[in-house]
Amino acid sequence: MSNPPVSGEKAPAAKLSLLTLTTVVIGSMVGAGVFSLPQRFAEETGVWGALVAWLIAGSGMLMLAFVFQRLSMRKPALDAGIFAYAKAGFGNYVGFFSAAGYWASACVGNVTYWVLTMSTLGVLFPQLGAGDTLLAVVLSSAGLWGFFFLIKRGIREATAINRIVTIAKVVPILVFVLFAVFLFDPAVFAGNLTGAAYTGPLFEQVSNTMLVTVFVFLGVEGASVYSRHARRREDVGRATILGFVSVFAIFASVTIVSYGVLPMEELAELRQPSMAGVLEAGVGTWGLVFVSAGLIISVMGAYLAWSLMAAEVLYVAATEKDMPRFLSRVSDDDVPVNALLLSTLLSQLVMVITYFSEDAFDFALDMTAVLTLFSLLFAALYALKLGWSGETYEGAPSRIRQGDLAIAVIATVYSVFLVYAAGLPLVLLSMIFYAPATVLFVIARREQGQRVFRGGELFLFLIALAGAVAAVLALTRGWIEL
């Protein structure tokens, strides 16, 4: 472990270019999720439902991307925006709530990468199963700690690797889309238009796909998290929009073209990564191998980006005194080592829990999505608050304020809809994390000799505590299953 900077000094922040920031956004979003899209969509909806879902998700996430872009310009002093915006708008505990949820989402999301990697290798090594066997957990744990030591070597080195991996992993996905277009069967596609016998009404179909779209779009705020490392502040907003547009085109294409290769019933039964199964059905075994290789590169790149972001959020929260001070320690290489260590430990814990779940990948994917929802909601609400009050808009033309306010309203409505679509069971399960995690907030406040909760903050904690108790009761009674 490297020695910390001299007391009173701060390690110089690595400065990242627009290209690197954009690849951080793309690298964060293009991970395990895109390879699971054919099966996850096919088990819930047909072509029409998928188109509506991507229209809603694309529009909503674009508005959130615009929110992060606007906030990065309106509030340039707020580093690691996903948490700082919640704190600035609604107080210390809400800021902690946002930071903790986003951090946990990143850690749980990292587990999905290892589960899917082991599931992919399980085709060759049956002992790995679907990524949920004891051997798979042991090997995943070894990889988890291997990346810990890699990232510990430095932010510059890790982000440089991420840039290379991002370019490499997009290539097989684009090749998949091209081959799927070539294999496209209009008759199969037409049969998948309205769904299958097992799918419900259109609204239900669309709602059931929302968490999947949230999962694959996680990382759109990646450039905001790295605000303190940006070479130019305006690059943060540009990287967010460039990354989003690029990735949206990829995700929608992968989903829709798959409906033209296999009937929905067969797509829904594919083993993950289902993209590999689609290509195997069209071109044979080499398609399975090709996509599987691309998946491993993609997952490792996304894992690297998300590990960096998880540690960064904890570190910035600690420097803002919303987390215990030991998490603010950085090495000579500008790596928040203690924050990185705690993030790795949480991922390790979740990895062990998935061993006991019915479907390790789906459980980790859904929890990753639901844990980040409140972070997105608070950011949208802060943008709404700024637009409504006029703060930072002094002297600006009214059309600019009105436009930003409209964006914030849409982003807020979309975020609320996502919480609804997630469903009560998953929201309650997320409280099992939020309630005990508040101990970190209590420690931070005690270190400063300040009152723990102010105003309505205690009410928010009591809601989280009640939700956690209800979730534990539901688990013990069998009302909720992992």
Reference 256, options 2, 13, 49; nearest CA is 49
Give the pair of three-digit tokens for residue 145.
């700690």
pLDDT value of position 4: 34
pLDDT at 328: 83
CA distance 366 to 242: 26
Is the predicted pLDDT of residue 172 greater than 90, yes or no? no
pLDDT the model gives residue 222: 55
pLDDT band at residue 457 using 50, 70 and 90 as cut-offs: confident
User: Cβ contacts of residue 152 below 8 Å, gap of 6+?
Assistant: 1, 2, 331, 333, 335, 337, 340
* Residue given tokens 């990382």 in the structure block: 219
- The structure tokens listed for 259 are 């409906």
What is the pLDDT, as a whole number, of residue 11? 42
The two structure tokens encoding residue 92: 């210390």
Mean pLDDT (whole number) for 137-151: 86
- Which pLDDT value is given to residue 381? 92
pLDDT at 6: 34
User: What is the average pLDDT score of the chain?
Assistant: 80
Residue range 462-480: average pLDDT?
Answer: 87
Q: Show Cβ contacts of residue 379 under 8 Å, excluding neighbours closer than 6 positions.
A: 64, 67, 68, 71, 81, 82, 85, 86, 98, 221
Cα 279 to Cα 417: distance, rounded to the nearest angstrom: 34
- Residue 290 C-alpha from the chain's centroid: 25
Q: Encode pLDDT of 284-319 as tens digits.
A: 888 888 878 777 777 776 677 677 778 877 888 888
Contacts with 297 (C-beta within 8 Å, 6 or more apart), sequence order: 165, 168, 169, 172
Q: What is the pLDDT of residue 409?
A: 93
pLDDT at 427 over 90: no
User: Is the pLDDT reported for residue 123 higher than 80?
Assistant: no
Q: What is the mean pLDDT of residues 120-148?
A: 85
Over the stretch 348-367, which tens digit does the pLDDT of each residue have?
Answer: 988 888 887 776 667 777 78
Name the pLDDT band for 158 (thresholds 50, 70, 90). Answer: low
Q: Which residue has the higher pLDDT, 171 or 400?
A: 400
Q: Place 15 in a pLDDT band, splitting at 50, 70 and 90.
A: low
- Confidence class for position 221, pLDDT limits 50, 70, 90: low
Going from the C-alpha of 140 to that of each of 36, 222, 310, the distances in angstroms are 19, 25, 18
Q: Which of 71-75, 92-96, 328-332, 359-363 has the lowest mean pLDDT?
A: 359-363
Instruction: Inform me whether the pLDDT recorded for 35 exceeds 50.
Output: yes
Q: What SS3 string covers the chain?
A: CCCCCCCCCCCCCCCECHHHHHHHHHHHHCCHHHHHHHHHHHCCCCHHHHHHHHHHHHHHHHHHHHHHHHHHHHCCCCCCHHHHHHHHHHCHHHHHHHHHHHHHHHHHHHHHHHHHHHHHHCCCCHHHCCCCCHHHHHHHHHHHHHHHHHHCCCHHHHHHHHHHHHHHHHHHHHHHHHHHHHCCCHHHHHHCCCCCCCCCCHHHHHHHHHHHHHHHHCCCCHHHHCHHHECCCHHHHHHHHHHHHHHHHHHHHHHHHHCCCCCHHHHHCCCCCHHHHHHHHHHCHHHHHHHHHHHHHHHHHHHHHHHHHHHHHHHHHHHCCCCCHHHHCCCCCCCCHHHHHHHHHHHHHHHHHHCCCCCHHHHHHHHHHHHHHHHHHHHHHHHHHHHHHCCCCCCCCHHHHHHHHHHHHHHHHHHHHHHHHHCHHHHHHHHHHHHHHHHHHHHHHHHCCCCCCCCCHHHHHHHHHHHHHHHHHHHHHCCCCC
State the average pLDDT over residues 21-46.
77
Give the pTM: 0.78
- Position 410 scores a pLDDT of 92
